[in-house]
Structure 1
Amino acid sequence: MEKNRILVVEDEESLLKLESILFTSKGYQVTGVRGGKEALASIAEQAPDIIVLDLMLPDMDGFEVCRHIKENEATRAIPVVMLTAKKSSRDLEHGKQVGANAYITKPFKSIKVLEVIEELLGNQQEKEGR
C-alpha cells in the first residue's frame, strides 16, 4: 500500500520538525515547506493527499493559501487542516469560509491531529472508491 503524502506548511522550524517526525513515525510521507508561495509551488509539482497548514506565514497567510487550493479545480478535493495559534471565533469562521476541512489550535495534542488526518484521509479514499 502506498503511503499517504502530507504537506506540512509551517514557518517555525522547530514545529515543522516536530510535525514531520510525528507524521513520519506514523508511516506518512512528509514534505515540509515554510511559506505560502512555496506550498502552492509544491502542490503544483506533486499534489499531496492532505495539507497541514499554519495560518501565520511570512509571505502569504494560510487563509489565502487555502483559498487558492480550494478555488483550483485540480486541488480543491485535497483536505486542508489548519493548525494555528489563532483561536478567535472570527478566525475559525474565516477558515470555514475559505474551505478548510478542519481547524485545530496550538498548542495541539498529537493524537488529536492524527485522528483528524486519519478521518479526512479515510473520507477522501471513500469518495475516490478506494
Structure 2
Amino acid sequence: MAKKKILIVEDEESLLKLESILLTSKGFEVRGVTNGRKALEAIEEDRPDLVLLDIMLPEIDGFEVCRHIKQNAATRHIPVVMLTAKKTREDMDKGREVGCDCYITKPFKSAMVIETIQRYLAK
C-alpha cells in the first residue's frame, strides 16, 4: 500500500524538522515547506493526502493558503489541519471560515496530532 503523503507548512525550521521526523516515523511520506507560496506550489506539483498548516507564514499566510486549497475544485477534498500558536476565538472562527478541517493550537501533544491525521486519512 502506498504511503500517505503529508505536506507540512511551517516556517520555524526546528518545528518543521520535529514534525517531519514524527510523521516519517509513523510511516507517512512527508514534504516540508517554509512559506505559503511554496505550499501552493507543492500542492500543484504533487498532491498531498493531507496538509498540516501553520498560520503565521511568510509571503502568504495559512488562512489564505487554506482558502486557496478549499476554493479549488481539484484540491478542495484535501484535509487541512491547522497547527498554530494563534488561539483566539477570532482566529479559530477564521480558520473555519476559510475551510480548515481541524484547528490545533501549539503547544500540541504529538499523539493528538497523529490521531487527528489518521482520522482524516481514514475517511
Whether these two folds match at TM > 0.5 is: yes
Secondary structure of 1:73 counterpart: coil
After the TM superposition, which parts of structure 1 deviate over 6 Å for at least 4 consecutive aligned residues? Answer: none
Q: Distance between the aligned counterparts of 1:61 and 1:74, measured in 2?
A: 21
Distance 1:118 1:85 in 2: 22
In 2, distance between residues paired with 1:121 and 1:98? 20
CA offsets 1:29-48 (integer angstroms, 9 cap, x no match): 00000000000000000100
TM-score, length basis structure 2: 0.99
Residue type at the aligned position of 2:109 = K
Paired position in structure 2 for 1:39: 39
> Letter of the aligned partner of 1:3 in structure 2?
K
Distance in 2 (CA, whole Å) between partners of 1:63 and 1:114 is 22
Find the aligned partners of 2:114 and 2:62 in 1 and give their Cα distance: 20
Correspondence 1:1-130 to 2 at 5 A = 1-123=1-123
Give the % identical residues: 63
1:49-90 C-alpha deviation (Å, 9 max, x unpaired): 000000000111100000000000000000000000000011
Amino acid at match of 1:58: P
Q: Tell me the amino acid that sits aligned with residue 28 of structure 1.
A: F
CA RMSD after TM alignment = 0.3
Q: CA deviation at 1:16?
A: 0.2
User: Distance between the aligned counterparts of 1:117 and 1:7, measured in 2?
Assistant: 12
